[in-house]
Amino acid sequence: MLYLLGVVAIALGILISVSLHEAGHMLTAKAFGMKVTRYFVGFGPTLWSFRRGETEYGIKAIPLGGFCKIVGMTPQDDDVEPGDEHRAMWRYPVWKRTIVMSAGSVTHFALAIVAIWLVAMFVGMPNRDLPNPLPAHVKVVDCVIPTDALRECAAGDPVSPAKQAGLRDDDKILAVNGTPVADYTELVKKVRDLPPGKATIRYERDGVQNDAQVTLAAVQRKPLDDPNGVPKTVSALGVAGPVPPPGVPATVTYGPVEAIPATAGYTKDLAVGTYEAMKRIPEKVPALWTAITGGERDKDTPISVVGASRLGGEALANGFWQMLPFLFISLNFFVGVFNLLPLLPLDGGHIAIAWFERARSWLYARIGRRDPGRVDYMKLMPLTYAVILVGGAFTLLTVTADVVNPITLFSR
């Protein structure tokens, strides 16, 4: 039940965001005097609608987005009624058209920033004072999974060697067989390099250092540097991590004023992360295909709305409800940036053409040539169809991967 609730929460959040995106277009267009004839949530057959003034508002049967119809978006549109020629969108100054076309993305950014501010006050932001990388403070698990399967402990699984040796949550591992370890990643590497059997673990608890004699378990794991590699026999200590040092919170909450710089810092990090993620999209396509055809799903591959909804359900089912607002924030920020790419039929494509027309008119006036007028959108249709085809194929690829081989974050 919690899983379903999480799925619905993320899906509903996305639907509301897209609806507000279209509302941003509509409200700015109306403010400038443009004619908006329709505003609907969803696609397909109309379930309910009403008319107020010159605009029809309603809900359609397929809740996968929404749209608003602004009259005369391009000179080639034939939806302008006699007497409304002066209200056609393409006739308005370029700065007004830019505001209208960017209002959708601005809405996504506003939703993300407000959500970050609220999270900073009521949920908590990642603690920037945490050491990076974190020292090898660990959480002792109940068992070790002999195979490379992603599952919880089951009857017959060996008891965790760390638990048998008396190690506890928050112990800081200092060395393995006398070899120092600086962080959790180094701890895992050192343990895996040892043969299964006896080992000495040097740890620190409450400021006091001690040694624990453990019997490392033999398990099947894929190489750390090759998540798609063939599993091989390695050693396991039976701990999870890294965890923050004792007394150091993983998250920090702020007051309303203090949350403002925290929001700005997180927004900056989100912008950089989104840019880096978008740069890596082309190289992740083969990994998506591998996931669909039976290979391991790389957790760094893109996800669709389906995948995001499933992660929301998994988070809520495992008691990590705090992850839901962060998913909402990331999705809104990504959609806001993506929608501004200078490609038709995205809003950024319309903005780019408007400013290209303006720059070209300015240049021709300076060199004494006749203004070439507006761009013929019909000549750009092949490029538009190509973008739609590529975007549709990528969407289908991510949705398929999220159905047949979804990313999971909470299985061990």
Residues with active-site annotation: 22
Whether the Cβ atoms of residue 198 and residue 215 lie closer than 8 Å to each other: yes
Dihedral in degrees, nearest 10, Cα atoms 288, 293, 298, 304: 40
Parallel, antiparallel, or unpaired: how do β-strands 232-236 and 208-221 relate?
antiparallel
Measured distance CA(341)–CA(38) in Å, rounded: 25
Q: Give the phi and the psi of residue 194 in degrees, each rounded to 5.
A: -90, 150
Percent of the chain as helix, strand, coil, to the nearest 5: 45, 20, 35
Q: Which amino acid is residue 72, in one-letter code? A: G
- List the beta bridge partners of residue 78: none
Rounded Cα distance, 402 and 145, in Å: 25
Q: Are 236 and 146 in contact (CB under 8 A)?
A: no
Rounded distance between C-alpha atoms, residue 226 and residue 323, angstroms? 27
